[in-house]
Amino acid sequence: MGILKRFSDIMSANMNALLDKAEDPAKMIDQYLRNLESDLGKVKAETAAIMAEETRAKRELDECSEQVDKMQAYAEKAVLADNDTDAKLFLTKKAQYVQKQSELQRVYDAAKANADKMKSMHDKLLGDINDLNARKDAIKAKVAVAKTQEKLNQIGSSLQGANNSLSAFDRMEDKANRMLDEANAMAQLNQTKEDDTIELMNKYDSQGDTVVEDELAALKAKMGR
């Protein structure tokens, strides 16, 4: 039966595998539940129909079995009445019912097997839905936590980039400090060189003043001053 194959596929589907394939389980889980509940409605309808077939097959089998027993009873009565002709008629009719009974037994066995399968699938699907409903909030909570963690990871990556920028800034600051130190050192060297030149000039300037002083002293001595 096509319905059995179709719903066997539904039963064999692994709910965890379906959720793993979903890009966003929090959004997909409600859709899965709606799909499963829709499937459950179909399974219920098909199960009811197949159970009705089982009931009808059982009723026809029971009625046929009653006819077999009835023909047997009438055949026995005919024998007791020493009426072999009637007994043969009843036994012939019984044989027909026995043949029909065998066919109806096969029909009933198949109908019962189908009904048992459908009831099993119905119970399995109902259990899956109840289980998923019970896990739904927990699954959504896990997804929310995962999304928050993902955002934190992104922020962490941004902070790492900021740290790299700060590190580069520190290196530039160090380089600027070195450049400033070198410039100051060069200025000091230049200042020292300039001071040496001034000192040398002052040396010779002071020598000129000494000559004048000596000449003035000689003049005063000559004049008795």
Write down the pLDDT at residue 7. 55
Write down the pLDDT at residue 206. 56
* Closest residue by Cα to residue 138 from 29, 14, 212, 217: 29
Alpha carbons 11 and 119: distance in angstroms, whole number: 12
Write down the pLDDT at residue 112. 94
Q: Report yes or no on 123 lying in a domain.
A: yes
Q: Report yes or no on 196 lying in a domain.
A: no
| CATH code assigned at 107 | 1.20.1270
Q: Report yes or no on 21 lying in a domain.
A: yes
Walking along the chain (225 residues) 10 residues at a time, the average pLDDT comes out as 54 53 68 81 88 94 96 95 94 96 96 92 86 80 79 71 65 79 73 60 60 70 74
Geometric angle at alpha carbon 130, from 125 and 136, rounded to 5°: 120
Count structural domains, the chain. Answer: 1
Domain span at residue 138?
2-171
Per the structure block, which two tokens stand in for 218? 């000689």
Per the structure block, which two tokens stand in for 74? 């009438």
Residues 6+ apart with CB under 8 A from 79: 87
Per the structure block, which two tokens stand in for 136? 């739904």
Q: What is the DSSP letter of 14?
A: -
